[in-house]
Amino acid sequence: MPSIGLRRPQVSNSRRSADLVGRAVTLSPDIPSIFDAPLAAHHKLIGRWAAAREKQARTYSRVEARQRIERVFGATVADILRPVEIADFRAAVILSEQGGPPAIALICQSLGQIDLGWIETGEAPIAWRAAAYQMLDKTLRAALPIFNYDDLFEEISMYYWDGEFEDEAARQALIHYHGADAETLDELTMPSEMNARRPEWMLADKAAPTAELPKPLRAALQTVGQAHAALKAAMPERNAWYFEWDQLLEYIPEMEECTRLPPMTLVPFDQFTRELDDVARHGMEMGFTDVAGIVPLENASLIDDWFASLALGAQFLLAAQALIQLDPATL
């Protein structure tokens, strides 16, 4: 559920929220539920945007205004994201830890391998499946916090082979930095062996040229490409699906303790279970970088821009979703 959350220093015996921004908090029983606190900066900002959408002007108490603001904002976000099944998201309006303006954060609530449908498990020609996979591999990160095989290989290279990509250099790294001996080297994974485990549908050189693909698949790929281009054309500072790391830490400083790895992946678990478990261990313990985007709001007029880009991202994800849900039998 989209939400408007506010972090404050702990000043009572209340239990602090155990998660990131936007979650519900528990108030001390000593504080009356009708406590009429002034509206915070983020409620006022979103409130000006919500008031412009009121069909009939009326007077609200502070409590009623706060509830109305959250309902209007939440319902608008939900209407845009409801058709998206490829991943789950929530939005939160948050305050800067450094005195900056409020911001809207879009957070991914999905974890693990994306469901690739027929691309991974279907019986369509490899060339068709590889073409579809390459399109997702090149575009999905415009909206999803997701990592691909190249990211995984680089992480494993740093983890095991001291950043080396070739077998002989990796062997030397295992000997010098990990204390491996000649007798155990043959039992350890080398870069070439890891690369060889990729299914053919993951390989770019197996993808058929666009002109050789069936018309429905060509159309689906074109739709993904066009939706991706439209999303990338959005101004970064107003794009609901974009963030800079330093800016993220300004609003959610606890992200500093999380792994920089995104929570979702395009890498199939069946072939790379051990490697995925290795690189995801820190994230499972401390959290992943699950933010899809964050936009500071200097004024209420930027909220419409944020929603426009949110819709562009949803349209792109729906196009990717349609590609994954194609029925190969109809191609």
pLDDT for the residue numbered 26: 37
DSSP secondary structure letters along 232-290:
HTS-GGG-TT---HHHHHHH-GGGGGS-SS-SEESS-HHHHHHHHHHHHHHHHHH----
- Burial (CB < 10 A; 0-12, 13-18, 19+), residue 28, is exposed
pTM summary value: 0.84
Query: Which residues, including other chains, have CB under 8 Å from residue 125's CB and lie 6 or more apart?
Result: 208
Q: What is the pLDDT along the chain (331 residues), one digit of tens a residue?
A: 444 433 333 333 333 333 333 333 333 344 343 445 566 777 888 888 887 777 777 777 777 778 888 888 899 999 999 999 999 999 998 888 888 899 999 999 999 999 999 999 989 999 999 999 999 999 999 999 999 999 999 999 998 888 888 988 888 878 776 677 766 776 778 899 999 999 999 999 999 999 999 999 999 999 999 999 999 999 999 999 999 999 999 999 999 999 999 999 999 999 999 999 999 999 999 999 999 999 999 888 899 999 999 999 999 999 999 999 999 888 8
Give me the long-range contacts of 215-223 (CB less than 8 A, separation at least 24).
216/326, 216/330, 216/331, 217/128, 217/131, 217/132, 217/326, 217/331, 220/132, 220/319, 220/322, 220/323, 220/326, 221/131, 221/132, 221/135, 221/323, 223/319, 223/322, 223/323
Residue 180's φ and ψ, nearest 5 degrees, are: -70, 150
pLDDT for the residue numbered 17: 33
Q: What whole-number distance in Å separates Cα of residue 104 and Cα of residue 237?
A: 12
Task: List beta partners, residue 291.
Answer: 107
Residue 139's φ and ψ, nearest 5 degrees, are: -120, -30
pLDDT for the residue numbered 243: 96
Q: What whole-number distance in Å separates Cα of residue 116 and Cα of residue 286?
A: 27
User: What amino acid occupies position 324?
Assistant: I
pLDDT for the residue numbered 222: 98
pLDDT for the residue numbered 37: 57
pLDDT for the residue numbered 183: 67
Tokens of 316: 């792109």
pLDDT for the residue numbered 70: 87
Which has the closest alpha carbon to 313: 99, 149, 139? 139
Tokens of 146: 């997701």
Q: What whole-number distance in Å separates Cα of residue 82 and Cα of residue 1?
A: 11
